[in-house]
Amino acid sequence: MELSGKVSRHLDLSVKVIALIFILSSCGGGSGDSGDNAGSGGSGNSGSTVNLLSLTIEGLVTDDPIPNANVTITIDDQSFTTQADENGEYSVDVSIDDSYADSIVKATATGSEADSIIKLVSYLGTLASLIEVAGDDETLTTEELFFTNITNVSTATAVALELAADGEITTDESFQNSQASIDTSAVMSNATAIKLALDYSDGNPDLILPDIVADTYEFVVEQDVITDYLSLIESNYAELYASVENDILTDTNLTPDTIAPVISLTGEAIIYLSVGATYTEGGASATDNKDGTLPVSISSAVDASAPGEYAVTYTATDSSGNSTSLVRTVIIADVIDVTASHTTEAGYTVRYRYISSSSWDSEQPRGMYVYLHGNIS
């Protein structure tokens, strides 16, 4: 299913998918042994105390957001269900015997209508690793683990993992190993095929989910079916494919946000002050593609009583952990001496030189000495 002539775009998306897989990996590795808990059941029965593990899992069911989707969290033979709200957001409380700590947690979402073709899945990792990542609030959010979002991309990723493992992922070992051999370009093209079938098939029979498959998960599992679908898209809808793929890559609910905030300084990037003057912090603002306006932290060591060049560092970090820093330079000097030049309409080059007294500051230059130096050149 190579789509020819799109090499550079594929490079971009490979980087993005590799980032995705990295995020998946960084959450892995629960505790040591890959215990197989199948059949161990939920109730403690050997007379020992049953320790319960508790975790709330929060995320979004989206392709476009899927209102009121049914969500099931499966941990071996146990399952926990809820319904997403009208925006596709869900929250599931899991409470389970600690013998399931090393079991793999899988999320499945289906459409709210009985005949819905929507089935999306996501592998999250071992329960123990999720509890660790969730932290003290015992709530696992999308910021903490991206794959709590159950999406076309998570579904394509899940199927790629299953193909690599040659079956369902039930142990941390197979979860880790199959991540290493995942086919990232297939993940993106399959995710795009799901989005085309769900969002673009109204009024276009070519794009409808082939009726040989029951739902979007089976669509990806049946490799022949999705390969045929994609080759039709490649021949007849290349432009649409490219645009939908781009939508996926720029939708931060579908692929991780890798774009850092942008900081703007209020005031000049270089400020000249005379010794003893007061440095007034002008501040800065930050905006982010996903989070909008963000706070900016300021680290400053300006000592206006001593000549020197000082850095004021402004830092903003988005909810995905992407960070930007910008530096303002503050120059404290006894005398400020700046030269500049411009060319007049008549073609003369005029050079200026500004020399300040010690009471000069950037807002209010007091002493200014202008001279014309070789004013006709």
Which residues would be at the binding site for Ca ion (CB under 5 A)?
134-135, 137, 139, 257, 259, 288-290, 318, 322
Distance CA 39, CA 376 (A): 94
Q: 3-class DSSP state for residue 298?
A: strand
Which one, 290 or 353, has the nearer CB to Ca ion? 290
Which one, 185 or 289, has the nearer CB to Ca ion? 289
The CB-of-291 to Ca ion minimum distance in angstroms stands at 6
Residue 116 identity: S
Residue nearest to Ca ion (CB): 318
Q: 3-class DSSP state for residue 246?
A: helix
Distance CA 347, CA 147 (A): 64
Distance CA 89, CA 66 (A): 8
The CB-of-137 to Ca ion minimum distance in angstroms stands at 4
Residue 201 identity: S
Neighbours of 158 (CB within 10 A): 25
Which one, 40 or 139, has the nearer CB to Ca ion? 139
Residue 239 identity: E
DSSP-assigned beta bridge partners for residue 342: 350
Which one, 127 or 198, has the nearer CB to Ca ion? 127
The CB-of-85 to Ca ion minimum distance in angstroms stands at 20
CB 316 within 8 A of CB 261: yes
Which one, 122 or 142, has the nearer CB to Ca ion? 142
The CB-of-138 to Ca ion minimum distance in angstroms stands at 7
CB 145 within 8 A of CB 153: no
Which one, 1 or 259, has the nearer CB to Ca ion? 259
Which one, 79 or 250, has the nearer CB to Ca ion? 250
Neighbours of 166 (CB within 10 A): 8
The CB-of-79 to Ca ion minimum distance in angstroms stands at 22
Neighbours of 162 (CB within 10 A): 18
The CB-of-224 to Ca ion minimum distance in angstroms stands at 38
Who's near 61: CB < 8 A, 6+ residues apart? 69, 71, 84, 88, 89, 90, 109, 120, 149, 150, 151
Which one, 205 or 295, has the nearer CB to Ca ion? 295
Distance CA 38, CA 171 (A): 10
Distance CA 80, CA 90 (A): 12
The CB-of-323 to Ca ion minimum distance in angstroms stands at 10
Which one, 111 or 261, has the nearer CB to Ca ion? 261
The CB-of-143 to Ca ion minimum distance in angstroms stands at 8
Which one, 135 or 282, has the nearer CB to Ca ion? 135
The CB-of-141 to Ca ion minimum distance in angstroms stands at 6
The CB-of-318 to Ca ion minimum distance in angstroms stands at 4
Rg (CA), the chain: 29
Who's near 93: CB < 8 A, 6+ residues apart? 54, 55, 56, 80
Closest CA to 130 of 144, 109, 116, 113: 144
Q: How many residues make up the chain in this entry?
A: 377
